[in-house]
Structure formats: C-alpha cells, structure tokens
Structure 1
Amino acid sequence: MTRNEWRGATVEKLCSAAGLNKRYFYESFTDLDSLSAAVVDDIADGVRSATVAAADEVAQQPLEVQALVSVAAAVRALVDDPRRARVLLGGVAASPELDAHRATVMHRLTDVLIDHGRTVHGVELEKDPLAKVAPAFIVGGTADAILGYVNGGIDLSIDDFIAQLATLWLVTGNGAAQVARGRMPQPGPLKGA
C-alpha cells in the first residue's frame, strides 16, 4: 500500500487480499495501527541489518569506502521496493499514531549513525552540540532524498544517487567533526616551559 492506498486500507480489505479470515488478523494485531507499526519496524530492522552488516564488512577500509558501502546498503534496502521507502520515510498518508511511531523508529536509526560516528570520529567529540544535530540532519536529509528518488524527482542512476548521498554523508560528518575538534579546549603550555 503506497501513497493514497494507505488511507483506504481496512482490516476486511487486507484479509480479503491475503485470503485470510479476519480472526487471523486479530490474533496478531489489535488494529490497523498495530499492523502498520509492525510493518514500519520490519522495514527499519531490514535497513538497519543491511547497513550494519555492510559496514562491518568494510570496517577496516578507508572512511570513503565505509560511507559508500553503508549508504548503498541502506538505499538499496529501501528503493528495491519503493513501497518500503514510502512507508518507512513518511511518503504515505498515515495516522498520527503511525507518524509518531515512525519518528521513534527514525530516531533509533539516527542512534545507529551516532554510535558509528563515535567510533569513526572519536568519542570526545560527542560533547559538541554538532554531535546531536549532524546525525539527525544526515538521516533526515537522506530520507527526503530517497523519497525524492523513488518518486521520480531525482533523475540519476541508482549508482550515481548512492555516490552523491555518500559524498554528502562524508562532507557533513567530516565537516562536523572538524568543527567540533576546533571547538575543543586546547591544552595550555606546560608550566616551566
């Protein structure tokens, strides 16, 4: 279900399309919102697993390789079936409850990026305010770009799209780390020197 199809969903229509009795639906879900939340969680878990696995495979490679491989895994996990991108990233009409749940899930994905940033850029930088803003900026911008791509608003090949996103991740992450390092107190001269 994508775009406006989401609004017309009912338990009856879903069960009919799946060839199931409504009883089976209610054995697993209380309502459409609980089903929707489970779908969002499943998609997010798939993106997170694909991204972490890809990053782990190249953990010893230069940061540029890590960024490209990680972005490629996340993007492909979503754009191979554009409905996943629309559901997870907010490209479909939904209830306020689902929007709140989706926001929570996106915060969890942001936390994964923060943890990775700590290992790449140094734990000491997490005290800088940019450490709180940059990951959300990257995830939010990436989400918007992916929605633009799957909706036909970005006219690039998938490989070019991934390369440009990876470049933006590097520019933003490295730039934020550089600014944060510049803000750190510098050690003073040694006494008696």
Structure 2
Amino acid sequence: MKGRVRQPTGRYAGKTASERGAERRERFLGAALELFGAGPGYRATTVAALCEAAGLSTRQFYEEFRTLEDVLAALHLLVNDWAEAAVTEALAGSAGQPAAERYAAVFRAYAASVTSDPRRIRITFTEIVGISPRMDEQRLSRRARWIELIRAEAEAARARGEAADRDYSLAAAAFIGSVNGLLHDWAAGWVDASLDELVEELVGLLLASLRRPGG
C-alpha cells in the first residue's frame, strides 16, 4: 500500500502549502462526489480516473490521501456533517416549540440536506456499505450519533412531560433504521411519495413512540 507523499512547504502563488493542500483536497472530494455518487460508483473508480476528474496528478493525490478508500471515508463524513449542521440549526431554531413542531423542523432539515443532491443519498446509503470492516465501523459510528441525538431529544421530551417515562435507547435505534430505510427506498424510486409526505410519516412514527399511555 502506498503511503502519502510529503507535501512541499513554503508559499507558492501567494498560498501556503496547507492552503494549497486544502484546495486540492476539496477538488478531489468534489470529483469523488460526482464519480462515486453519480458516475460509475466507488468500486468502479480508480485513482487515475479520480485524478483526471479533479484535474490533478496522482502525485497530488498521494499528498492528500493514502488510498481511494480514504477519499470515500472523508466524503461520507462530509455528507453526514452537512446533514448534522442542518439538524443542529433546526434544533436551535425550534427551541421551545412543542414536540410535533420541533421534530417536523428537524426531520425536514435532515431530509432536505440528504435529498437535496441524489449523490449524497448514494454516498450515505449505498456506496459505503460492504466496502470494508473499517467503513462499516465508520457507518455504524455515525449512525450511533444520530441514534444518540434522537434518544436525547426523547429524554428531553420526557422531562417536559411530553413523552412517556421510559428508556428510549431501543426506540431511537429503531427509528433511525426506519429513517435510513425509507429515505433509501424513496431515493431508489420504490416509494411513491413527496418529501413532505415522508417527513410527515417519520414525525408520526417518532411521536407514536413518545406518546404516553392514554395520551
């Protein structure tokens, strides 16, 4: 396995080595989003093809990454970071609202981020699956973060008297599984519904899991 090539230091064209590296990395990730998410896919892409799409050399590739899998890993994290930022903003904007309105805002923000670009859906739900134990661990680790976010929100609703008094760990895991499955199937064309209908259904599922007996 090739290791990363050491980057040159010092300024060039008014930019530091780190600035040039960041620009190259962004170009590689942009090319990867297109090739992995819309083109032949990760498994059918080579380093040479990625470099050609990015307009950069293989030497420049190995200055930023060790392997093509490193690019997929970085891209998967980036797509998740975009969605997480959208959800964080929605949570802040819906503070103090009743659970139904708050969760509708949160899931609309998440769904809008993930589905705003079909390439993001493919990276999130398809390309990363079954690549390697490392990538499976990363995928499950990011899923765990989403599960924890839902569990914490459910606990907060319980503390406000809007949810039943119980442990929400299992319910949060089941809900995130439903989110992933439904969005994947919708993106694949297997679910005939609008994005708003999907959000409404998901919010309904979550509220049903929070509902107090007789509530």
Give the alignment's TM-score, normalised by structure 2: 0.73
Instruction: Give 5+ residue unaligned stretches, structure 1.
Output: 180-193
C-alpha distance in 2 between matches for 1:156 and 1:82: 16
TM-aligned CA deviation for residue 94 of structure 1: 4.6
TM-aligned CA deviation for residue 38 of structure 1: 0.7
C-alpha distance in 1 between matches for 2:129 and 2:149: 26
Deviations 1:13-43 (CA, angstroms, capped at 9, x unpaired): 1111111111222222111121111111111
Q: Considering only aligned residues, what root-mean-square deviation do their CA atoms show, in Å?
A: 2.5
Show the 5 A alignment for 1:50-129. Answer: 50-90=86-126, 94-96=130-132, 97-122=134-159, 128=166
Show the 5 A alignment for 1:140-155. Answer: 140-155=177-192
C-alpha distance in 2 between matches for 1:60 and 1:167: 19
C-alpha distance in 2 between matches for 1:147 and 1:41: 18
The one-letter code of the counterpart of 2:99 is L
Q: Which structure ranks higher in relative contact order (CA pairs < 8 Å, sequence separation ≥ 6)?
A: 1
C-alpha distance in 1 between matches for 2:41 and 2:130: 10
C-alpha distance in 2 between matches for 1:90 and 1:115: 27
The farther-off stretch of 83-92 and 154-163 is: 83-92
Give the alignment's TM-score, normalised by structure 1: 0.81
- Secondary structure of the 1:153 match is coil
TM-aligned CA deviation for residue 91 of structure 1: 5.6
C-alpha distance in 1 between matches for 2:137 and 2:49: 25
Show the 5 A alignment for 1:177-188. Answer: 178=212
TM-aligned CA deviation for residue 95 of structure 1: 1.0
The residue that corresponds to 1:165 in the other structure is: 202
Higher helix share: 1
Deviations 1:149-191 (CA, angstroms, capped at 9, x unpaired): 111111111211211111112112x14xx37xxxxxxxxxxxx
C-alpha distance in 2 between matches for 1:48 and 1:19: 30
Instruction: Give 5+ residue unaligned stretches, structure 2.
Output: 1-35
The one-letter code of the counterpart of 1:171 is A
Q: Is contact 1:6-1:94 (8 Å) kept?
A: no
The residue that corresponds to 1:185 in the other structure is: none
TM-aligned CA deviation for residue 122 of structure 1: 2.7
The one-letter code of the counterpart of 1:86 is R
